[in-house]
Structure 1
Amino acid sequence: MTSVRLFSIFFALALAAIVHAQASTTFLRVGTDYALPFRNPVSAVDNLGTAVHTDFTMSGARYGQMLDSSNYWSIYRDGGGTCSLHNRTFWVYCDTSAYQKGSTTVSRFASNSAALVVNYNQPTVLKDFTATESSVSEFVPFLPSELADNNANYNQRWALWAYSNCIPISDTVAAQYWQVMKFSSSTSRSLVGNTLAMYSYGTYSNSIIVSRDTHLFFDMNTYLYGTFSSLVVNGYIYLYALDYTYSDRMDIHVARVSVNGFRYKSNYQYYDAGAKTWSTTPPVVTARRRSAAVIPGTIGFYSGAMFYSEYHNAYLLVFMSNWADNKIRVLYSASPLGPWLGNNKIIYSTVQGPGGINYGGIVSPFYFNTAYPQGKNLMLMYSYRDTRFVYPFACIIRFA
């Protein structure tokens, strides 16, 4: 399934305003008014024991479009995932277009953007902090070489996209693996690898500092570990990757790294589920390796979130498939290494927009986790296609 992007025929009009200098670090002031405490995961053990409530009966309610109605621009975007630093929770997004209010012509554009959560009980209300009256800027910056390519020919641009939640490292530090896309024209692109973005919160400046060290962290010769989803368990980050090339995103492979060592690839270990062994050498992938996958899929995956559910006493993978059916599904496990059970049960059906199928569905671990056992009520966001625009749409889904 491919996503309809937000820019199309408006590139030529927007280029002069779009392309602006960036370094490999951005500083984004968020202010002091958006502290939203949440409850951290209750458990972080290798084997959780018996899961409960595994019939996964659910109900749901639609909230609507997520936006900052006070912003100077009318902003439309897709993709996304959540993160929280020092109790400041925000969403990251992929391609972001800004329009003058009432206009249908793109005035500003960014490869990715971010917006703060204002109230966990009002999921539709955001506060943009990468969009001001004068500019709409990238949340995750381009490196100088990427920026030079974009300045030379923006129709053959680099883009950074995310369809996952970030990885908590500490109260003020997080990480996220972003897809690195290369366009060959304004509408044709290819996935070339992933990149590691670092987030830190400056407690004195009330700023989020975003940095990148390298163009690619993993490339398509192996798997893009961390791009699909992640779990932090007993001091290790488990990083899940789709097999894009040989299984049409049906197989999921996993690596792990110490929370303290994730910036350096030499610290990573790669799991072969068939042999039940770890290796310090990443696999060189030339064919499908279904037996080595931690989830040897029977259905293609698109986007998903892994998290510990106190309500289920299990790790859940809540995901949207690439079957273009607008469905949200679930798998569960007692361990990051599986077995992952549940037979891809459908737990929620999203309402399709007039512009086509929804995509990029992901649940946030931060909403609704104080009033109920964590994992009972979930905030779901997906990219909704209206008649003209694509925008993030919020729902609540509740397990019985």
Structure 2
Amino acid sequence: MTMVRSLLLSSLLRLAVFVALFHQCVLAATTSSASTSAASTSAAATPVTSIFPVPSILTPYVWTAPQLSNSPVKGSFKVQSTTDWGEMQDFKSTWRVFRDGGGSCSISNRTLWVFNDAVAHSKSTGKFTGAAVNAMSIANTFSNISQLTDFTVAPSVGYFPAVPWSANEAQYANSLTSRYALWTFTNCVQLSSTSAAHFFLVNQFSSLTASRQYGNTMVLYNINEATGKITVTRPAQYAFRNTSYPYGSFANVVVNGYAYLYGLDRLYSTNYDVHLAQVATAYISNQAKYRYWNAATKAYETTLPVPTARRRTAAVIQSNIMFSTGTLFFSQYHNAYVLIYFSAYQDNTFRLVSSPTPLGPWNVTSVTLFKTTPGIGFNYGALAHPQYFQSKAGIAGKSVMLHYSYQDTVGTYIKGMSMTFA
């Protein structure tokens, strides 16, 4: 009964978001082909591109350079301390933006954030002002996790989706019951110092609250320091259709110039099995260059899997864990690849599994890190962001920034936390 009640509360909250987003959809339909001083968007065909001025707020970070195989695992997965930084928001803005899900992306010495279902209200009156199906922000500092600056949904800009619609999606923008939603629940894949790829799930609604996932789409970011702008490009409407696995939408890690892209088998295993694709970062937009890991044969295959049943033995992570969201990264502190995740969709608890390589073998004896306190309903959309504590003087992985979606009677918003291992 508790689960049903929680799901009902969540559905009602999201229904309010969907109704608000209808107004944004109408606005987007009238501005999507316009060019303004704040943003320009083209949705005439695929590929589609949006361009935004990006704030020059720098948060320098140091990326790890892991080897493919590391042993032995060291350190402790015991948590020494946690700090709750509260709601992540733009404190200087006159708007309070409610949002959920999302992920981070560190390029050009900036830490970008993309969130889902951004709904803005006036801080002074509480009145609804506008919304976007996804929105981009930037971290102000690593020393205060909660501080953001919004720049695609903001008073000086308006309400622009961070990710542009394809022509097919744009034609449904005015329909509350058949609109598309592009949502991400993962961090980006860093391609170079100024560019990255980010995977978003492509959903289409059939009623106010019911939607179907048709696959995922790849979004490319590129920051031009000379112009101070970020270009957001979708090479195609879909990267991987729902006839395969949504590679890159669950987790990713880059090792020696190769991106390891993890996708959940939602259709046949209900998110218990994790499948893996590998591609050189230089060819991430070329699906002909992708290879697909088969754990049963311990070899890569060049043919995209199109499963008709569960392929448990082919999965890179095989466990009794029902994953929902997570982040995979190399922890220097533990000399291991770690996956910090939420299990199922109303778990509220950060957990961890580890491996000496991106290919496994994964120690699927899950370590419970700590449990968050839910508001109403449950917490969801949890990710880890190790770059917040990866400095030249620090050891990557000892401390990690975390975020998750929190629901209360006011709305749904993002909470930020920091965690330090013993």
SS at match of 1:260: helix
CA distance in 1, matches of 2:25, 2:190: 35
- Does 2:386 align with 1:365? yes
Q: d(CA) in 2 for partners of 1:16 and 1:259?
A: 37
Say whether 1:7 aligns with 2:17: yes
Q: Distance in 1 between matches of 2:334 and 2:378?
A: 30
Change (3 A) 1:251 1:352: same
Counterparts of 2:313 and 2:265, CA distance in 1: 12
Query: What is the distance in 1 between the residues matched to 2:234 and 2:24?
Result: 26
Which of the numbers 43, 48, 52 marks the counterpart of 1:28?
A: 52
Which residue pairs with 1:222 in the alignment?
A: 244
Partner of 1:339, secondary structure, is coil
Instruction: Give the deviation of 1:145 after TM superposition.
Output: 2.1
Shift in Å, 1:12: 5.7
Q: Which of 369, 378, 385 pairs up with 1:347?
A: 369
Question: C-alpha offsets along residues 46-101 of structure 1, whole Å, 9 cap, x if unaligned?
Answer: 11110112443342111100000222322100001110111011111111111233
Describe the superposition over 1:239-288 as per-residue Cα deviations: whole angstroms up to 9, x where unpaired: 10000101110100001011111101100001110111211101111111
Shift of 1:307: 0.7
Contact 1:58 1:347 in 2 (8 A): no
Q: What residue is the counterpart of 1:86 in the other structure?
A: 108
User: Which secondary structure state, in structure 2, belongs to the residue aligned with residue 366 of structure 1?
Assistant: helix
Deviations 1:181-233 (A, max 9, x none): 11111211111100010000101011111101111110111101011011111
- Residue type of the partner of 1:92? V
Which of 148, 173, 197 is 2:171 aligned to?
A: 148
Question: Tell me, which stretches of 5 or more residues in structure 1 are unaligned?
Answer: none
The alignment status of 1:53 with 2:75, answered yes or no, reads: yes
Counterpart in the other structure of 1:325: 347
| Corresponding residue for residue 135 of structure 1 | 158
Superposed CA RMSD in Å reads: 1.7
Does structure 2 retain, via aligned residues, the 8 Å contact 1:13–1:107? Answer: no
The Cα shift of 1:13 comes to: 5.5
1: CA distance, partners of 2:345 / 2:169: 33
Residue 8 of structure 1: CA displacement?
4.1
Which residue identity lines up with residue 179 of structure 1 in the other structure?
A: L
Question: In structure 2, what is the Cα distance between the partners aligned to 1:267 and 1:7?
Answer: 39
The answer for the alignment partner of 1:276 in structure 2 is 298
Amino acid of the structure 2 residue aligned with 1:311 = Y
Q: Verify the 8 A CA contact 2:332 2:397 in the aligned structure 1.
A: yes
**Which structure 2 residues correspond to residues 160-175 of structure 1 after superposition, within 5 A?**
160-175=182-197
8 Å CA contact 1:180–1:195 kept in 2: the answer is yes
Matches within 5 A, 1:222-241: 222-241=244-263
Quote the residue 2:120 is aligned against.
98
Deviations 1:313-360 (A, max 9, x none): 01110111115220000011111100111512110211111x211000
Residue identity over aligned pairs, in percent, reads 35
Deviation at 1:30, TM superposition (A): 1.7
Asked whether the equivalents of residues 225 and 255 of structure 1 are also in contact (C-alpha less than 8 Å), the reply is yes
Question: The residue matched to 1:94 in structure 2 has which SS?
Answer: strand
Please report the TM-score for the alignment, with normalisation by the length of structure 2: 0.90
Residue in structure 2 matching 1:40, options 63, 68, 88: 63
Partners of 2:25 and 2:253 in 1: CA distance: 39
SS at match of 1:45: coil
Change in CA separation of 1:297 and 1:132 when aligned onto 2, cut-off 3 Å: same
User: TM-score with structure 1 length normalisation?
Assistant: 0.95
For residue 216 of structure 1, give the secondary structure of its aligned residue in structure 2. coil
**1:292 paired residue number:** 314
Change over 3 Å in CA distance of 1:10–1:233 after alignment to 2: closer
Q: 5+ residue gaps in structure 2?
A: 33-40, 43-47
Matched with 1:74 is 96
Give, in whole Å, the separation in 1 of the partners of 2:303 and 2:275: 14
In the alignment, the residues of structure 2 paired with residue 39 and residue 362 of structure 1 have an alpha-carbon distance, to the nearest angstrom, of: 19
Q: State the distance in 1 between where 2:131 and 2:219 align.
A: 20
Q: What CA distance in whole angstroms lies between the structure 2 residues aligned with 1:146 and 1:235?
A: 33
> Which residue, out of 275, 280, 286, partners 1:258?
280
The alignment partner of 1:270 has SS state of strand
Distance 1:273 1:13, change over 3 A: closer
Cα distance in 2 for partners of 1:342, 1:271 equals 18
In 1, Cα distance between the equivalents of 2:220 and 2:348? Answer: 32
Deviation of the 1:102 alpha carbon? 4.5
Deviates more, 1:243-252 or 1:137-146: 137-146
Contact 1:380/1:397 (8 A) holds in 2: yes
Kept in 1, the 8 Å contact 2:201–2:216? The answer is: yes
